[in-house]
Structure 1
Amino acid sequence: MASSPTAPPATDLRARATIALRRLVGRDDVDFRNGQLDAIAELVEGRRRVLVVQRTGWGKSAVYFVATALRRAEGAGPTVIVSPLLALMRDQIAAAERAGIRAVTLNSTNADEWGTVSGALARDEVDVLLVSPERLNNPRFRDEQLPALAESCGLLVVDEAHCISDWGHDFRPDYRRIRDLLLTLPDRTPVLATTATANARVVTDVVEQLGAGGHDVLTLRGPLARASLRLGVLPLSAPEQRLAWLIAHLADLPGSGIVYALTVAAAEDVAVALREAGHEVAAYTGRTEPGERIRLEEALRDNRVKALVATSALGMGFDKPDLGFVLHLGAPSSPVAYYQQVGRAGRATDRADVLLMPGPEDKDIWRYFASASMPRQEQADAVVRALADAGRPLSTVALESIVDVRRTRLELLLKVLDVDGAVQRVAGGWTATGASWTYDAERYGRVSEAREREQQLMIDYERTGECRMAFLQRCLDDDTAESCGRCDRCAGPWFDPAIPEAAVNTARSRLDRPGVVLDPRAQWPTGMERLGVPLRGRIAPGVSSEPGRAVARLSDLGWGQRLRELLRGEDRPVTQEIVRACVQVLAGWGWDERPVAIVSVPSRRRPQLVGSLATGLGELGRLPYLGALDLLDGGPVGDPGGNSAFRLANVWGRLGVGPDLADRLRGIPGPVLLVDDVADSRWTLTVCAGLLREAGAPSVLPLTLAVEG
């Protein structure tokens, strides 16, 4: 593997490239940063495959846009950029337009525009085509359009190339298809891969894949220190203290910025709390609609909000050069992921503040996401077997009634199996290829161990007495690491750790406010007949529950933390604190009709907890406790986490209304409050509500301590 340019860039190339750069930037006094022109020369004159590892803000996009301008001037075909996020695509298109480069995109939000895009390509009216990695495996695009694009493209760009590697912090299975694309390119088609977040292991993996077909790959790597960033860590274990610090000090931070949270629930709750305290903020998560995302990104760019409270959905590619700060309520699972997110700040400013406020719940959240992203052998075998047995394409929905894998995990698993050649996406769904395939347990074991080591490194970052920037550089195998002189370890804390009591009270008031709406299920899962359950279509109004309530989500910053501790312990009677929280939820419910009695869901794991909660609420609310439903044939089976169809099948026929409870329900004059500990799939509540309605309850109001998510 070469590690340096083959020759200095020629004077003529420098002149042409400088003109293109200044058109791109819109200024006549700019020049190339160290390494940019070297990369351009290798692509344009050397026609090589190049991996660029440079810090965020160095100007990787300038390399591929200038190279595009020069290649197009030579008569080459359009540049194809594989780009992972819509936000990144939008920024890339805007930058291209400023340089007079005609850029178009094809992604999940505009697939119906492919006819227009295809026509423009045929007329040679496109300089840059941006595609998502998922689009590479769209059957029509893959079979009808991709071969011609591979043959004609003048430059292939793989942006955020660490996604290729399953050692990377943000592995995307669809990125592994790029290796197949590389094998179809004509010789001497230049290829550029870029990333700011790759350690030595990831670089080695990416280089191996970029070199598919025996090509040499040149790696150009620069120092990753960010002189503008002022790093710090403020350890506050109580969630109300972390929120209180934000309430008190958000306005003191420079400019506008991003507050990262680890879960959707935390981001939404923090955004509400900050708005109630008078801060101009908004939540930005995976649940945010595409149009709303664009609006929020523009509001942050224009400094019309102080901050977006975001999950990692606002990550790679969001470009606001003067972003003034990045705060984290909870730590990402690795220093590499953390470096990537904080790299959004201070790209065109002398100073940007970066503060991490880790929480004791971080490890639980890391563990959950790690388990969700790793394929399991028994599930992979079941999917391949189901597709082989079907003999025809099956949709993801149809597969859910055959294999017990939750939708998000199933979609990821299908992508991994597709990349490995065991299954293939076709019109109408998925099919088995019949190719020999073996679950690579050793590889997944190594990846799991690597992620555990990275989690420990994140904890080490929080506790280190050394320079924080140098620590992050070493985690990225940057051998230029040295003390930055600005972080809280080098220069002492730059942030005010004081938290006014009024802010603590405000935060505590918000976090202690229990109550989450439980929307009732409206539709039975598809294909239940295959599982022996005679249900289909919409759930009839006569057996459905009313909207319910939970005290909190388990991922919530306030009550969520307390409920996690309660539910992971041994079964025991509920505390008065929990009962009082439930009473608060009941008081603020706003129901059309007050419940007249209580029934509990039978529990094998926590009978004391659920039973004492039901009786306690009955005593406080002066409502009769009618008892619990019966467990039939041992009760519900299966573990939490399965898909919707199997979760319903595991409950169906295993619960019942006994004779005593049926007598008590007969002629009951009002709603029944149905009490349980945790709502996950909500099928237990749905089935119980249907049984109670059939037994005479006019309506059912579900109440649980917690809801997953």
Structure 2
Amino acid sequence: MIPSQSPSLPPATVETSATREQALVVLRKLVGRADAEFHDGQFEAIEALVDAGRRALVVQRTGWGKSAVYFVSSLLLRARGAGPTLIVSPLLALMRDQVAAAERAGVRAMAINSANATEWDLVSAALAADEVDVLLVSPERLTNPSFRENQLPTLIRRTGLLVIDEAHCISDWGHDFRPDYRRIADLIARLPPSVPVLATTATANSRVVADIEEQLGAGVFTIRGPLARKSLRLGVLRLADSRDRLGWLLTHLPELPGSGIIYTLTVSAAEDTGRLLAEAGHVVKAYTGRTDTMEREALEEALKDNQVKALVATSALGMGFDKPDLGFVIHLGAPSSPVAYYQQVGRAGRGSANADVLLMPGAEDQDIWQYFATASMPAQDKAMAVLEALGAAAKPMSTPALEARVDLRRTPLELLLKVLAVDGAVRRVSGGWESTGQPWVYDSDRYERIAQARVDEQQSMMVYEKMSGCRMEYLAAALDDTTAAPCGRCDSCAGRWFPTDIGSGAVEAASESLSHAGLPIEPRTLWPTGMDRLGVPVKGKLKAEEQVAQGRVLARMTDLGWGNSLRAIFAAGAPDAPLDPAVAQAVVGVLRDWGQARWAGAGRPVAVVSMPSRTKPELVRSLAQTMCEIGRLPYLGELSLEFGGPTGRRGGNSAYRLAGVWDRLAVGPELAAALVAYPGGPVLLVDDLVDSRWTLTVAGRALRLAGATQVLPLVLAQAG
């Protein structure tokens, strides 16, 4: 155990001895072993909470037994007449595991979160009957108006122990993962001084530890243990591209021990990889933020029961997933920091002597890191726009209503509102959001510090990929573990332990899968709320006679296959040029498959129209020309740009994106005449890039009002 810099506990007493005996009884029931003993630091933390009523921070590696500390402490405190323990827990998967673990130890546990919010009456009744030892809540419940006003005051009065799990989320390091975590400092301040508080995490460097200690208050008892994981065998395999990485998996997945997790950086990569492996006969499933909650539970259980070889997952499968015998973790693409990487590989080997961990970085990793780093940072002008809109409103405003006043998409807008709420500038109430009237200043120093810290972490990850020294030592040192030492097991210490060959058939299969092209573009059917405020006279549903049909796009920019070629075409500074022959051939394949699907019921196109482009005109025209030649279709021309063309930009919300393109695309006289000359069938509308779909919607509407019987969008790339 790393010596704590915090105040020490008093010497052992008769009371301490009795507490230890009682705690051992609970521990052995929890783990199901009559010979179980405490790990170094476990009882010390329990003693600090139960006997001394302290505030404690436990920083220990995954699998050390942090949950045992708070479950044992909860039962001991309950036996002494204390109220139930309140655990703030960040992930639904973690809650499910914690409730199951609690039941094994005879702890009566219940949870309240977004997945079971309707069950609060049952929870409330059980609390009132004193039938709950542990209540787990998600941090978002702390911001729910009804919960905050009606249930939380009673909980605070009765709480016998407060536990903050994954406490690094309190700190700047995790501010964008769960900004609601920053409310916990306020919750702690409202507790009676006699109520003990426990914060736990496996991923905190010295800076984060200091930040957590400050928010817990004075006199924190901190226990930091060694973070190196002796069961893990680390390695890095650098391959040329996505095709080779997938080929390696196809070749060697059956050889990996037990069942495990294959991590990817994006949803599309997880879905593409899962599809490839499943088509090759491997029992794998994709698990992402898009996966339905009920399906997530089923997939987690399938992995725990070894019914699948692997889940191909994004970071949505991370903190809290507990499978002690998880045999391997593979990364297709590197996380953006050693800390994030350590946390994910920590899923493996928690209860076994050996587990394999292999990182296969990709050339696209840094671009993905940059996207996610910038997407989560609140911008000052957007924050001020939100405050101005709420300040001028006569009543609370819903998030959709705010979208008509602030050019932010739903997810970043909701994140910004949470940040402002934590800072006390706004509050969530029944009916939406309102201003508190409190002055607010954009903390530019803080966000610049966070941004720089992320750059530094990314550089550290690049060092990890290329280093010749011990990899486990490096990860532990990145978390300021002063006991970090060579592990003797990783590929740097003991030599390469993993095969590097790729079967020729596997490369061909990966190539064929990655060459898969064509995704549907679903038509817009509803106008955004509040468009009249932006000068656009539409609301409700789009008229059927003004809608476009379902379209097709070659691929997403984030796809493992054609995404690589598309990212090169649309990279900053890339020249405008005719369509690459290989890409053109892929689009032809999309067109052929679309025709075999009978054009989704819309009918075969009779002519081609192109979108005007200010950045890629040559690319769009060559795409249109190719479609005309292959489909033997006449080219009618392109739409006209009005008033300088669309004013929107990528990343804005639907309302502003629509306003930015409204009335700025028109069917000119020549195109209108050409449409009249070719009546009786759909037109193929070609464009280079689709994001919000409002440009296609407005252009298609203009074409239909000009006489086109239907519009079939065909686009080269989809953003995101």
Shift in Å, 1:542? 1.0
Does residue 303 of structure 2 align to residue 308 of structure 1?
no
Does residue 686 of structure 2 align to residue 675 of structure 1?
yes
- Choose the corresponding residue for 1:446, options 449, 459, 475: 449
Q: Distance in 1 between matches of 2:540 and 2:383?
A: 29
2:700 corresponds in structure 1 to 689
Deviations, residues 55-91 of structure 1 (Å, cap 9, x unaligned): 0000000000000010011110000000000000000
Shift in Å, 1:668? 2.0
Give the direction of change, closer, same or farther, for the CA distance of 1:610–1:3 in structure 2 (3 Å limit). Answer: farther
Shift in Å, 1:3? 5.7
1:615 corresponds in structure 2 to 625
Does residue 161 of structure 2 align to residue 162 of structure 1?
no
1:599 corresponds in structure 2 to 609
Shift in Å, 1:605? 1.0
Q: Is the 8 A contact 1:169 1:336 kept in 2?
A: no
Deviations, residues 242-295 of structure 1 (Å, cap 9, x unaligned): 111111111100000000011111101100000011100000000110100010
TM-score by length of 1: 0.98
Does residue 589 of structure 2 align to residue 584 of structure 1?
yes
Amino acid at match of 1:697: A
Within 5 Å, give how 1:287-306 maps onto structure 2: 287-306=290-309
1:89 corresponds in structure 2 to 95
Q: Is the 8 A contact 1:321 1:345 kept in 2?
A: yes
Deviations, residues 163-184 of structure 1 (Å, cap 9, x unaligned): 0011248642000000000011
SS at 2:127 equivalent: helix
Does residue 154 of structure 2 align to residue 148 of structure 1?
yes
Amino acid at match of 1:583: V
SS at 2:546 equivalent: coil
Does residue 469 of structure 2 align to residue 466 of structure 1?
yes
Q: Is the 8 A contact 1:80 1:131 kept in 2?
A: yes
SS at 2:318 equivalent: coil
Does residue 339 of structure 2 align to residue 333 of structure 1?
no
2:115 corresponds in structure 1 to 109
Shift in Å, 1:620? 2.2
Deviations, residues 339-390 of structure 1 (Å, cap 9, x unaligned): 0000000001111000011101111111111111110000001101110011
Does residue 131 of structure 2 align to residue 131 of structure 1?
no
Amino acid at match of 2:141: R
Within 5 Å, give how 1:620-659 maps onto structure 2: 620-659=630-669
Q: Distance in 1 between matches of 2:711 and 2:630?
A: 19
Q: In terms of mean alpha carbon deviation, does 383-392 or 587-596 score higher?
A: 587-596
Q: Distance in 2 between matches of 1:536 and 1:513?
A: 38
Shift in Å, 1:514? 1.0
Q: Is the 8 A contact 1:162 1:170 kept in 2?
A: no
| Superposition RMSD in Å | 1.1
Moved over 2 A (4+): 3-9, 167-171
% same residue: 63
Does residue 202 of structure 2 align to residue 196 of structure 1?
yes
Q: Is the 8 A contact 1:4 1:219 kept in 2?
A: no
Does residue 230 of structure 2 align to residue 244 of structure 1?
no
1:706 corresponds in structure 2 to 717
1:518 corresponds in structure 2 to 521
Q: Is the 8 A contact 1:237 1:358 kept in 2?
A: no
1:210 corresponds in structure 2 to 216
1:2 corresponds in structure 2 to 6
Shift in Å, 1:237? 3.0
Does residue 427 of structure 2 align to residue 424 of structure 1?
yes
SS at 1:626 equivalent: strand
Q: Distance in 1 between matches of 2:136 and 2:589?
A: 51
1:363 corresponds in structure 2 to 366
Amino acid at match of 2:25: I
TM-score by length of 2: 0.97
Q: Is the 8 A contact 2:7 2:219 kept in 1?
A: no
Shift in Å, 1:29? 1.5
Q: Is the 8 A contact 2:176 2:377 kept in 1?
A: no
Shift in Å, 1:543? 1.2
Q: Distance in 1 between matches of 2:264 and 2:52?
A: 44
SS at 2:263 equivalent: strand
Shift in Å, 1:241? 0.4
2:577 corresponds in structure 1 to 572
Q: Distance in 2 between matches of 1:171 and 1:674?
A: 40
- Choose the corresponding residue for 2:233, options 230, 235, 241: 230
SS at 1:676 equivalent: strand
Give the direction of change, closer, same or farther, for the CA distance of 1:4–1:346 in structure 2 (3 Å limit). Answer: farther
Give the direction of change, closer, same or farther, for the CA distance of 1:416–1:7 in structure 2 (3 Å limit). Answer: farther
2:345 corresponds in structure 1 to 342
Does residue 53 of structure 2 align to residue 47 of structure 1?
yes
Q: Is the 8 A contact 1:299 1:305 kept in 2?
A: yes
SS at 1:584 equivalent: helix
Q: Is the 8 A contact 1:550 1:706 kept in 2?
A: yes
Q: Distance in 2 between matches of 1:209 and 1:7?
A: 27
Amino acid at match of 1:341: Q
1:260 corresponds in structure 2 to 263
Q: Distance in 2 between matches of 1:8 and 1:20?
A: 20
Amino acid at match of 2:582: E
Q: Distance in 2 between matches of 1:525 and 1:6?
A: 63
1:172 corresponds in structure 2 to 178
Q: Distance in 2 between matches of 1:634 and 1:615?
A: 25
Shift in Å, 1:6? 3.9
Q: Distance in 2 between matches of 1:64 and 1:7?
A: 22
Q: Distance in 1 between matches of 2:11 and 2:718?
A: 61
Q: Distance in 2 between matches of 1:620 and 1:586?
A: 9
Amino acid at match of 1:703: L
Q: In terms of mean alpha carbon deviation, does 591-600 or 552-561 score higher?
A: 591-600
SS at 1:542 equivalent: helix
Shift in Å, 1:8? 4.2
SS at 1:51 equivalent: strand
Shift in Å, 1:391? 2.8
Q: Is the 8 A contact 1:422 1:434 kept in 2?
A: yes
Q: Is the 8 A contact 2:331 2:358 kept in 1?
A: yes
Q: In terms of mean alpha carbon deviation, does 162-171 or 544-553 score higher?
A: 162-171
Amino acid at match of 2:687: D
Shift in Å, 1:477? 0.4
Amino acid at match of 2:531: M
Q: Distance in 2 between matches of 1:6 and 1:385?
A: 54
Amino acid at match of 2:683: V
Does residue 334 of structure 2 align to residue 324 of structure 1?
no
Q: In terms of mean alpha carbon deviation, does 313-322 or 530-539 score higher?
A: 530-539
1:29 corresponds in structure 2 to 35
SS at 2:215 equivalent: helix
Shift in Å, 1:4? 4.4
Q: Is the 8 A contact 1:164 1:171 kept in 2?
A: no
Q: Is the 8 A contact 1:169 1:334 kept in 2?
A: no
Within 5 Å, give how 1:485-500 maps onto structure 2: 485-500=488-503
SS at 1:104 equivalent: strand
Amino acid at match of 2:6: A
SS at 1:704 equivalent: strand
Amino acid at match of 2:370: R
Say how many residue pairs are matched.
706
Amino acid at match of 2:114: S
Deviations, residues 390-417 of structure 1 (Å, cap 9, x unaligned): 1320011100001111111101000000
Q: Distance in 1 between matches of 2:634 and 2:316?
A: 47
